[in-house]
Amino acid sequence: MIAELSNPSVFMRDPQRVEDILKAMQKAGSNTIQVISDFDMTLTRFAYNGKRCPTCHNILDNSKLISEECKLKLQELLDTYYPIEIDSSRSIEEKLPLMVEWWTRAHELLVQQKIKKDMMATAVRESDAMLREGYQLFFDRLNEHSIPLLIFSAGIGDVLEEVIRQEKVFHPNVKVVSNYMDFDETGVLRAFKGELIHIYNKREGALLNTDHFQALRARHNVLLLGDSLGDLTMADGVQDMENILKIGFLNDKVEERKQSYLNSYDIVLVKDETLDVANSIVLHLTGSK
């Protein structure tokens, strides 16, 4: 039905089910669709020319805004906790307190650096952040068809907004739920606002955003994009859901994690740095090839 679903990077537990969901969603029409996407390593690239691309946190960690001493500490945290994040032998219950520890310690270190709000744009501009290939089509097409895009990120809202602003795709249909920085009256970072969003509490985050989902309650069909098993709960706040199609990027530790991704995501994209499959689905649902 969609040629891109035969790409070598595409794996599906049940292709017939994918086809049935797509048929139902296409029949219902593009005004019944909402898109919910993770940001880091889902809308952004995992690697480029063999080199890892940064997450929102890494954009700051690698910038001039952070002292050399603090960079080492943040690197130590990454070396300790990232292997836990992607360890398929540990349960989510086991990982959860360790992820809270990672986020808490990283945010404490960032706050100690007295980061200035007016330096954020430069830090992003000078970073290696890269959205996945095909991002313009993805953002522009959703906007042209007034399909709401919720970017739901355990990264840093101020950083991710700046990334999409600099790429000229921060359109009016985009809403961001993330960790936002709290700057004092002189524009210096003093804390993070609100409830912490980490990789395994997106369900709780979703349930706090009832107003957003209430406003979109006529949009019963959801396209969900993520790269971690924690991203599967991003749609838990959606009201009156009829169909959901879950697309998961499997970027790292492929063999160990493939089965669990196939069990939870309808479409698994293995080491695929593009948004081609998502774009072909969006084109299909918005009525054009």
Q: Which residues are at the interface with Mg ion (CB under 5 A)? A: 38, 40-42, 227
If one asks whether residue 135 binds ligand TMP (CB under 6 A), the answer comes out as no
Near ligand TMP by CB under 6 A: residue from 46, 63, 66, 102: 102
Residue closer to Mg ion (CB basis): 202 or 220:
202
Q: Considering only 5-13, 16-24, 132-140, 152-160, which stretch makes contact with ligand TMP by CB under 6 A?
A: 152-160
* 40 counts as catalytic: yes
- Token output for 257: 């994690």
Q: Which of Mg ion, ligand TMP, none interacts with 58 (beta carbon under 5 to 8 A by kind)?
A: ligand TMP
CA distance 109 to 27: 50
CA distance 231 to 38: 7
- Token output for 207: 């349930």
Q: Considering only 12-20, 50-58, 185-193, 243-251, which stretch makes contact with ligand TMP by CB under 6 A?
A: 50-58
Max intra-chain CA distance, the chain? 57
If one asks whether residue 153 binds ligand TMP (CB under 6 A), the answer comes out as yes
Q: Which of ligand TMP, Mg ion, none interacts with 158 (beta carbon under 5 to 8 A by kind)?
A: none
If one asks whether residue 221 binds ligand TMP (CB under 6 A), the answer comes out as no
Residue closer to ligand TMP (CB basis): 205 or 284:
205
CA distance 284 to 258: 27
Min CB(97)–ligand TMP separation in Å: 14
Near ligand TMP by CB under 6 A: residue from 22, 36, 39, 150: 39
- Token output for 64: 């001039």
Q: What is the dihedral of CA 135, 138, 143, 147, to 10 degrees?
A: -140
If one asks whether residue 199 binds ligand TMP (CB under 6 A), the answer comes out as yes
Positive or negative, the CA dihedral 161, 120, 100, 250 is: positive
User: Contact 198/100 with Cβ under 8 angstroms?
Assistant: yes
If one asks whether residue 41 binds ligand TMP (CB under 6 A), the answer comes out as yes
181-183 and 189-192 strand pairing: antiparallel
User: Contact 110/182 with Cβ under 8 angstroms?
Assistant: no
User: Contact 173/140 with Cβ under 8 angstroms?
Assistant: no
Kindly list the catalytic residues.
38, 40
Residue ranges that bind ligand TMP, judged by CB under 6 A? 38-41, 55, 57-58, 77-78, 85, 102-103, 106, 153-155, 199, 228, 230-231
